[in-house]
Structure formats: structure tokens, C-alpha cells
């Protein structure tokens, strides 16, 4: 498995997709996750099969979701969904993250997203990870969300889908600022966690939450 590198500002390309197209694969899914490092809420994965040729005004705007503003992500989220051949989204809840560990939970989310694709993919391009239990040709790409167009599209879908879900959870579990920080370990989140203790969607296997649970 490749080592994750520091983010860089890169424009994702179709290089990896073109290699697979030359090998005869037509339905190529890009896969990425959001929320792996959060303290609360699910880990979310998206699988996206994009057309082989895209001629749209927004194509050159696609980047790793972390390099985009929330407004730009929302804009691209809907355009990608309208253009994609297929989109799948998988969510794995905090209790499974706690019982399985975050990497296993991330793989489960990715497999769930892949299973929702119709038509099914013929090959997979995945940010960083590999999926040993998925019997498809696949490549794990370090910084894939920055380098590969399909993975960058998946990163946007996963991020926005998770953000929307965290906003809903904020209404169910008010007082933690979930709609603002989306469950990540910000100073505000840690303050409320210390004051109130964890709620049902906090990941109790993660150290700051584990410490707050003991108080």
C-alpha cells in the first residue's frame, strides 16, 4: 500500500482512465471517502463512473474536495451527479467504526458505494486504499483525489453527501456545532465535547472522545 503524501495543488487528469480505456475497460469507477478523521458521524464513500469524454464548462473546476470552497463543492456535486453514468454513496456509522476500526469501516463504505453502481464498474481507481474483498481490477493511487479526475469527482460527492448528513444530525443532536465543523476535531467541537460529553454519534474509540467519556 502506498504512503499518503502531503496535499499539493494539482489539477486532476484523465491519465489513469485513459490507460484503462486502452486496455478495453469502459466503465471505470473513481472511489474516495470523507470523514475518516472525524470524531463524530459516519465515514462516507462515493463511487463515480464518469463518461469517457466530458465537454462541460465545469470540467476544469474539478479538484480534490479539500481544495474547494463549500459553494464550489455544492456546485460541482450537482453537476457531477447529472453527468455521471452512475453514482453510489456508502455510509458506515460510528458504532461500526468503533467495532471494526476506521480502515475496515472505510473499506466497507467503499464496497457499499460500489454495490450501488448500475451499470456495475469494470475497473476501480481508488484514493490510497485497495479493496481485497472486491473481485475487480483496481489501483490504489497515492493522492488520487488530486491526480485522477474520477477520484476527485468521488471526493466531492462523498464530502458534500457527508456534510449534508451532518447538518441533519445537528438537528437531532444540537449543542455540539455539528453543522459547522461536520464532526471534525475543531477547538469548538472539543470544547462542547468536554462540556457535554459524547453523544450517540461520537466515535468512542477515537482518543479525544474516549477521554471525554471517562470524565
The H or E element that residue 31 is part of is strand 28-34
Q: Could you tell me the three cell numbers for 37?
A: 478523521
Which CATH number fits the domain that encloses residue 108? 3.30.420.10
pLDDT at 215 (0 to 100): 56
Contact 152, 84 (CB under 8 A): no
Digitized pLDDT (tens) for each residue of the chain, 215 residues in all: 444 444 445 799 999 999 999 999 999 999 999 999 999 999 999 999 999 888 899 999 999 999 999 999 999 999 999 999 999 999 999 999 999 999 999 999 999 999 999 999 999 999 999 999 999 999 999 999 999 999 999 999 999 999 999 999 999 999 999 999 999 999 999 999 999 999 999 999 999 998 877 65
pLDDT at 102 (0 to 100): 97
- For the segment 93-148, what is each residue's pLDDT rounded down to a tens digit? 999 999 999 999 999 999 999 999 999 999 999 999 999 999 999 999 999 999 99
Full domain range(s) for residue 135: 15-173
Is residue 37 in some structural domain? yes
The H or E element that residue 81 is part of is helix 70-83
State the Cα angle at 24 between 18 and 30, rounded to 5°.
50
b or e along 37-55 (b: 16 or more beta carbons within 10 Å of the residue's beta carbon)?
ebbbbbbbbbbbbbeeeee
Is residue 133 in some structural domain? yes
Q: Scanning the structure block, which residue is given the C-alpha cell 490510497?
A: 128
pTM as predicted: 0.93
pLDDT at 55 (0 to 100): 86
Is residue 104 in some structural domain? yes
Contact 90, 48 (CB under 8 A): no
Is residue 205 in some structural domain? no
Is residue 213 in some structural domain? no
Is residue 190 in some structural domain? no
Amino acid at each position: 500500500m502506498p504512503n499518503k503524501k502531503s496535499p499539493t495543488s494539482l489539477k486532476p487528469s484523465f491519465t489513469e482512465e485513459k490507460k484503462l480505456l486502452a486496455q478495453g475497460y469502459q466503465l471505470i469507477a473513481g472511489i474516495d471517502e470523507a470523514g475518516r478523521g472525524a470524531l463524530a458521524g459516519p465515514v462516507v464513500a462515493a463511487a463515480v463512473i464518469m463518461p469517457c469524454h466530458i465537454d462541460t464548462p465545469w470540467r476544469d473546476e474539478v479538484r480534490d474536495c479539500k481544495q474547494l470552497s463549500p459553494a464550489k463543492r455544492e456546485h460541482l456535486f450537482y453537476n457531477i451527479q447529472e453527468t455521471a453514468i452512475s453514482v453510489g454513496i456508502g455510509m458506515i456509522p460510528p458504532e461500526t467504526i468503533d467495532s471494526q476500526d476506521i480502515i475496515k469501516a472505510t473499506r466497507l463504505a467503499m464496497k457499499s458505494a460500489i454495490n450501488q453502481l448500475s451499470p456495475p464498474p469494470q475497473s476501480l481507481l481508488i484514493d490510497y486504499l485497495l479493496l481485497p474483498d472486491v473481485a475487480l481490477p483496481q489501483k490504489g493511487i497515492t493522492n488520487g483525489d488530486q491526480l485522477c479526475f474520477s477520484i476527485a469527482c468521488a471526493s466531492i460527492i462523498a464530502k458534500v453527501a457527508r456534510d449534508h448528513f451532518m447538518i441533519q444530525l445537528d438537528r437531532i443532536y444540537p449543542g455540539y456545532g455539528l453543522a459547522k465543523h461536520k464532526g471534525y476535531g475543531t477547538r469548538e467541537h472539543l470544547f462542547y465535547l468536554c462540556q457535554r460529553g459524547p453523544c450517540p454519534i461520537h466515535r468512542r474509540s477515537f482518543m479525544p472522545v474516549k477521554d471525554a467519556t471517562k470524565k
